[in-house]
Structures are given as C-alpha cells and as structure tokens.
Amino acid sequence: MRYAELRHPRRAVALVAGGVLAVGAGVGLVACASDGSGKSDRPAAESAAGPQVKVVDPYIPQPVKGGMAAGYLVLQNDGGTADRLVSVTTDIAPSATLHQTVDNRMQQVEAIDIPAHGKGVLGRGGAHIMFEETTRPLKKGDTVDVTLTFEKSAPITVRVPVLGIAERPGDAGAAGGTTGSAGQPGATTEDHTGHGG
C-alpha cells in the first residue's frame, strides 16, 4: 500500500510535464499559422469575422484639362466587420483626397465607410478620389498606381486604368471589370474646375 502511494506522485508529475509540452507545442502551431504569403490559415469562421476588402472596377476618366483628375472604384467587403478607406496616395499627384457630393457640391471627407458584407462605392455623382496637381497629363490607355489605406485592413495598391471621358469599366474597348459597378451608364462627366475641397 505504501509502495502504491509513492508511485502516484511520480505519475502525476509525468502527466503534468506532458501537459506542459503539449501546450507548448500548441503555441508553436499558432505562431506558425501564417506563412508570410498574406493568406491566413485560420478557420473560415474566424477569418470572416474581420474585414475582407477587395477593389472592384477601378478607373480614372481621362481629364478634360490637366492638373486634376477623379478616380472611381468599388470597395467590396466580404468580411463580418466594417472598415473605412481613410487615405489615398499615388505617384502622379502630391495630393489625393476623398470627396463626396452633398447638395450638388463637392466636399472633402475624412473617410469612406465600407459596411460588413457590403460595398463602399466611389462613383460618378457620389464619393470619389480627387487627384490634384497631377504631375503628368493622363490620357486613355495610361495606368496609375494608387495605394489605398484603410482603418483596419492592410493597404492595397491597385493599378488603375485611364478610360475615355464617358467610358465605364466593361464598356466595349475599355479596360476594367463589370459594366456599371463603379457608375451607371449615361452619367455625365463631373467638372471639378474650381473645386475648393
């Protein structure tokens, strides 16, 4: 009986030690869950809880005059958390700001909301990106690299095509994606002359 009493503590120590090793191995697995490719190996339910933003149908209409251009796109969020577009940078202009049409007037805004399982639409007659003091003329067929910075998601750099003045992505002869995603056909070209922000 006494021999049995001496054996149980040793067994308990061994089990505790094994438990520590198992927990340590689990920590190692969690730390190695990402391979650095930008894709997460987390379960789909956990990943879907955060914002999952992608850019759809980006384009810049060929400006009517030099020095200023407008950019349009759709920010599609397939995740379960809302996000916001907070800033834009590009090498073609020292100033790239976010604007919204309010009461037929253009006003600068701090951010563009992107709802969970929804879209933040930057389209003609609504929200848009304003490129001011452009460093080179933009014409149909050009492309512009634009970096979008978000409140929660990692920045996204997208190559934006310059289309004809009245074109939309998906129009015959135009670069880009689905017709009408970033503006309805037939909308007039916005005039940003004298735009005061």
Rounded Cα distance between 191 and 179, Å, is 22
Rounded Cα distance between 94 and 99, Å, is 16
Burial of 177 (C-beta count, 10 Å sphere; 0-12/13-18/19+): middle
Q: How many CB atoms lie within 10 A of CB 119?
A: 14
DSSP 35: -
| Three-state secondary structure readout of 131-166 | EECCCCCCCCCCEEEEEEEECCCCCEEEEEEEECCC
CATH class of 48-163: mainly beta
Average pLDDT, the chain: 75
Q: Express each pLDDT in 126-181 by its tens digit.
A: 999 999 999 999 999 999 999 999 999 999 999 999 999 989 886 655 555 433 32
Is 60 exceeded by the pLDDT of residue 71?
A: yes
Q: Express each pLDDT in 77-107 by its tens digit.
A: 999 999 999 999 999 999 999 999 888 888 9
The CA distances from residue 130 to 13, 81, 88, 138, in Å, are 67, 27, 9, 14
| Most confident region among 41-50, 123-132, 184-193 by mean pLDDT | 123-132
Q: What is the pLDDT of residue 101?
A: 86
Domains of the chain by residue range: 1-32, 48-163
pTM for the structure as a whole: 0.66
